[in-house]
């Protein structure tokens, strides 16, 4: 294998998905620790605690520098290079999470063993399903009085529609949690909350007398359990996992470091190296020589004095080198990237080279947009998951009219970053914001004030839902003439119908049967 191919084959790019509080932050931290990327456990959680202490999301925004460095965490593990992409925990920022999931090749789903499958897990899983993303499952918090493991597996199978293949099996739970049995290498890892890496001892073989010595009567229960589990559950099928149809399941306790290493080993051993990516015209294999990639996330104004923005680009093929010239396909312009950044061991460092699967941060002044494709010349357009119709709407009202220009710029830039969506009705001067979660409005107001010097209030706006319009120019003109106050242009100058209520929407659809009213729009 050439060194180019092996660089790609050794990469693993994934994200962790979970319902809030299942243990994503804890697990992230432990993965970094096992990977040697942080020296002291506590760094990541410390940051989260600081955010919580203020219980103020604006505080989080003030710490954007921090949230950016943790958005991508790259570290070597065994002979592999891991890219762990962070996703915002809060439901209101789920669009950000959806976009991040387009940039990974696999995911780890964390389930709280007490609460089982929760609402946000289902939503995120549905997004993964859109691309058949392979998913490893980590059932966390076995040190607590949990639900029966078999019941948890049943719940995952029935609510998430995915087969489970247990890879490890827990011995007891809560106070009597003793460790796990590895179904495929016939070893038992014993749990010890006081051991540095959570594991006291590892022994080989279910019939090993040491097992009875260490856990007494639980040994016989384990033997019976394992026989039952082997008979009743699905055997691991690598292809079914890679196709997103089966999830290998691991049990552990992240806070106690237990089960984390097995999970990390599974990430490098089972999860896929960078995969081919679809574009509008063809599929791009990761090993293609020429560089290509797409922007899945923008973060602006990390340093308010410099108005810089970082575009996060997932490399889909080829090799990136510092100083390389790449073409922004949408504009046809060439960008010379001398200062791409990576997030190795959580520090921003200047990057010299990167390969398919890696994420690079490209500083820019607003020229790079969400969903942009970059290549070495070919006109490709990566396609992926759509942007969703907003569920909440507000009219922006400026307190000082002299600042109108700044408001328009600010709203436009924040919309480009994906912080909210912006709509301008054809027949009014209103600036309407759309969001998926209400917190997005608070963040936008805060950022307008602190980054653009505009004090803005958000008023209620009579809109129940939005639909992107597709049709002939004549039809679009007709609907715009008829409903000019409710037809708006979005950030991409596309027509959108802002429906005051469902009845109006239905009437508009009946009146213009040749126009498509779309609930989602492809941004990629």
Q: Which residues are annotated as a binding site?
A: 18-25, 86-90, 140-143
Region from 135-143, 173-181, 212-220, 448-456 binding ligand G4P, contact rule CB under 6 A: 135-143
Q: Of the two residues 70 and 133, which places its CB atom closer to ligand G4P in the complex?
A: 70
Q: Of the two residues 17 and 266, which places its CB atom closer to ligand G4P in the complex?
A: 17
422 binds ligand G4P (CB under 6 A): no
Q: Which of 90, 123, 144, 210: binder of ligand G4P (CB under 6 A)?
A: 144
CB 361 within 8 A of CB 312: yes
Distance of CA 478 to the CA centre of its chain: 40
In a 3-state reduction of DSSP, which class is residue 248? strand
436 binds ligand G4P (CB under 6 A): no
257-258-261-265 Cα dihedral, nearest 10 degrees = -140
Q: Around Cβ 119, how many Cβ atoms within 10 Å?
A: 10
Output the smallest distance, CB 358 to ligand G4P, in A: 25
Region from 21-29, 60-68, 352-360, 421-429 binding ligand G4P, contact rule CB under 6 A: 21-29
End-to-end Cα distance, the chain:
32
**Across 461-518, where does the E strand assignment appear?**
465-470, 487-490, 495-499, 516-518
Q: Of the two residues 114 and 330, which places its CB atom closer to ligand G4P in the complex?
A: 114
CB 449 within 8 A of CB 414: no
Output the smallest distance, CB 456 to ligand G4P, in A: 31
Region from 60-68, 136-144, 167-175, 411-419 binding ligand G4P, contact rule CB under 6 A: 136-144
Pick from 460, 417, 454, 419: which is nearest to 440 by CA? 419
60 binds ligand G4P (CB under 6 A): no
Please tell me the count of residues contacting ligand G4P according to CB under 6 A: 20
Residues between 36 and 55 with contacts to ligand G4P, criterion CB under 6 A: 45, 48-49
Q: Return d(Cα 371, Cα 327) in angstroms, integer.
A: 14
Show binding-site residues for GTP: 18-25, 86-90, 140-143
Q: Which of 254, 389, 396, 454: binder of ligand G4P (CB under 6 A)?
A: 254
Residue identified by tokens 């020589």 is 289
Buried residues in 128-146 as b, exposed as e (16+ CB within 10 A) = beebebbbbbbbbbbbeeb
172 binds ligand G4P (CB under 6 A): no
26 binds ligand G4P (CB under 6 A): yes
Token couple for 362: 């490209």
CB 263 within 8 A of CB 138: yes
257 binds ligand G4P (CB under 6 A): no
Q: Of the two residues 136 and 254, which places its CB atom closer to ligand G4P in the complex?
A: 254
420 binds ligand G4P (CB under 6 A): no
Q: Return d(Cα 346, Cα 434) in angstroms, integer.
A: 33
Region from 24-32, 383-391, 501-509, 511-519 binding ligand G4P, contact rule CB under 6 A: 24-32
Output the smallest distance, CB 168 to ligand G4P, in A: 15
117 binds ligand G4P (CB under 6 A): no
Q: Return d(Cα 479, Cα 496) in angstroms, integer.
A: 11
Positive or negative CA dihedral for 466, 471, 475, 480?
A: positive
Residue 392 parent element (H or E) = strand 392-398
Q: Of the two residues 62 and 144, which places its CB atom closer to ligand G4P in the complex?
A: 144
Region from 249-257, 263-271, 277-285, 317-325 binding ligand G4P, contact rule CB under 6 A: 249-257
Pick from 159, 66, 147: which is nearest to 118 by CA? 159
Output the smallest distance, CB 433 to ligand G4P, in A: 27
Output the smallest distance, CB 444 to ligand G4P, in A: 24
118 binds ligand G4P (CB under 6 A): no
Pick from 401, 392, 463: which is nearest to 429 by CA? 401
Token couple for 85: 């992409």
Residue window 78-97: x/- pattern of binding to ligand G4P, with contact defined by CB under 6 A? -----------x--------
Q: Which of 253, 271, 301, 346: binder of ligand G4P (CB under 6 A)?
A: 253
Output the smallest distance, CB 64 to ligand G4P, in A: 19
194-221-111-154 Cα dihedral, nearest 10 degrees = 180
18 binds ligand G4P (CB under 6 A): yes
Q: What is the DSSP letter of 397?
A: E
Which residues lie near ligand G4P (CB under 6 A)? Answer: 18, 20-26, 45, 48-49, 89, 140-141, 143-144, 253-256
């Amino acid at each position: 294998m050439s060194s180019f191919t092996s660089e790609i084959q050794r990469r693993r790019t994934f994200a962790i998905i979970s319902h809030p509080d299942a243990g994503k932050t804890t697990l992230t931290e432990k993965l970094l620790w096992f990977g040697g990327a942080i020296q002291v456990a506590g760094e990541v959680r410390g940051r989260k605690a600081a955010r919580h202490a203020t219980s103020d999301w604006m505080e989080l925004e003030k710490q954007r520098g921090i949230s950016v460095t943790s958005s991508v965490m790259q570290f070597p593990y065994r002979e592999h290079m891991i890219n762990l992409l962070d996703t915002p925990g809060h439901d209101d920022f789920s669009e950000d999470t959806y976009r991040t999931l387009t940039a990974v090749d696999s995911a780890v789903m964390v389930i709280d063993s007490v609460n089982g499958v929760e609402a946000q897990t289902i939503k995120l899983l549905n997004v993964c399903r859109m691309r058949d993303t392979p998913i490893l499952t980590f059932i966390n918090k076995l040190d607590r009085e949990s639900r029966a493991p078999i019941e948890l597996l049943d719940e995952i199978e029935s609510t998430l529609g995915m087969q489970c293949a247990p890879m490890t099996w827990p011995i007891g739970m809560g106070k009597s949690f003793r460790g796990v049995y590895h179904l495929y290498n016939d070893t038992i890892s014993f749990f010890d909350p006081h051991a540095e890496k959570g594991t006291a001892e590892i022994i080989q073989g279910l019939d090993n007398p040491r097992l009875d010595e260490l856990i007494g009567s639980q040994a016989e229960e384990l033997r019976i359990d394992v026989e039952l589990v082997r008979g009743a559950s699905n055997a691991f099928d690598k292809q079914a996992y890679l196709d997103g149809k089966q999830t290998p399941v691991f049990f552990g306790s992240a806070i106690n470091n237990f089960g984390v290493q097995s999970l990390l080993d599974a990430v490098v051993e089972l999860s896929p190296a960078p995969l081919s990516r679809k574009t509008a015209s063809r599929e791009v294999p990761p090993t293609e020589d020429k560089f290509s990639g797409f922007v899945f996330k923008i973060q602006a104004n990390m340093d308010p004095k410099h108005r810089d923005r970082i575009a996060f680009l997932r490399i889909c093929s080829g090799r990136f080198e510092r100083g390389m010239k790449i073409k922004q396909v949408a504009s046809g312009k060439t960008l010379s990237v001398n200062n791409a950044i990576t997030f190795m061991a959580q520090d921003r460092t200047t990057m010299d080279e990167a390969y398919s699967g890696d994420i690079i941060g490209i500083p820019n002044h607003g020229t790079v947009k969400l969903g942009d494709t970059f290549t070495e010349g070919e006109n490709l357009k990566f396609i992926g998951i759509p942007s969703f119709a907003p569920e909440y709407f507000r009219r922006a009202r400026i307190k000082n009219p002299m600042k109108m220009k700044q408001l328009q710029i600010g709203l436009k830039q924040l919309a480009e970053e994906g912080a909210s969506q912006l709509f301008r009705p054809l027949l009014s001067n209103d600036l309407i914001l759309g969001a998926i979660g209400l917190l997005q409005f608070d963040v936008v107001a805060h950022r307008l004030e602190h980054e653009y010097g505009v004090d803005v209030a958000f008023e209620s706006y009579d809109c129940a839902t939005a639909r992107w319009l597709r049709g002939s120019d004549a039809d679009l003109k007709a609907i715009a003439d008829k409903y000019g106050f409710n037809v708006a242009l979005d950030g991409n100058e596309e027509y959108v119908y802002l429906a005051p209520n469902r009845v109006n929407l239905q009437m508009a659809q009946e009146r213009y049967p040749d126009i498509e009213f779309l609930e989602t729009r492809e941004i990629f």
